[in-house]
Amino acid sequence: MVIIIISLVLILLGILQLYLTYRYSQNIKKLKIRPTTAPFAIWSGVVFGIFFIVFPILVMIGNVKAISNAGHVMSIIGGILF
């Protein structure tokens, strides 16, 4: 029961992250001088938002192989981003 509650909270945080990233991208479009870090901030916001949605779903499904692969994939994505 606790895992389901934590998973749902993480999914909601992922949705919030995607929404805030969308709002940030809309605000950046309105500026005359765009910050050089805006594409990185938008890209990383989308990646982390999707991760916070997909990873709890994999935990609730119980797919252990996919969970271990997700950690490996996030390491690769983190290495590319940072």
Q: What is the CA radius of gyration of the chain?
A: 15
Written as six digits, the tokens of 60 are: 């609730």
Taking only the tens place, the pLDDT of each residue in 31-48 is 888 788 888 888 888 888
- Give DSSP secondary structure letters for 19-34: HHHHHHHHHHHH-SS-
Domain boundaries, the chain: 2-81
Taking only the tens place, the pLDDT of each residue in 7-39 is 899 999 999 999 999 999 898 888 888 788 888
Provide the sign of the torsion angle of the four alpha carbons 34, 36, 39, 40, taken in this order. Answer: negative
